[in-house]
Amino acid sequence: MCWSATADLVAGSGIAAVGVACVTRVRSSRDLPLAALPLLLGAHQIVESVVWGSGGGSGPATVVWAVVALPVLAVWVPVAVWCAAPPHARRRLLLPLAAGTATAALLAHGLATGPVTAEPRGHTIGYAVGLSHAPVLITGYLLATVGSLLLSGDRWLRALGVLVAMGAPACWALWRLEFISTWCAFAAVCSVVLFGWVRARTNLPGSTA
Question: What CATH number should be reported for the domain holding residue 155?
Answer: 1.20.1070.10
Helix (H) or strand (E) holding 126: strand 124-129
In a domain, 9, yes or no: yes
In a domain, 157, yes or no: yes
In a domain, 207, yes or no: no
In a domain, 208, yes or no: no
- Give CA separation, 146 vs 30, 101, 192, in Å: 20, 14, 17
In a domain, 40, yes or no: yes
Report d(CA 67, CA 34) in Å as an integer.
Answer: 18
Question: Residue 51: CA atoms inside 13 Å, Cβ hemisphere, count?
Answer: 32
Q: Which has more pLDDT, 123 or 94?
A: 94
The tally of domains found in the chain comes to 1
In a domain, 36, yes or no: yes
In a domain, 209, yes or no: no
Q: List pLDDT tens digits, range 159-174.
A: 999 999 888 777 777 6
pTM of the complete model:
0.90
In a domain, 69, yes or no: yes
Report d(CA 126, CA 123) in Å as an integer.
Answer: 10
Tell me the residue range of the domain where 105 lies: 5-202
Q: How confident is residue 66, by pLDDT bands cut at 50, 70 and 90?
A: very high
What sign does the dihedral 183-35-101-50 (CA atoms) show? positive
Q: How confident is residue 92, by pLDDT bands cut at 50, 70 and 90?
A: very high
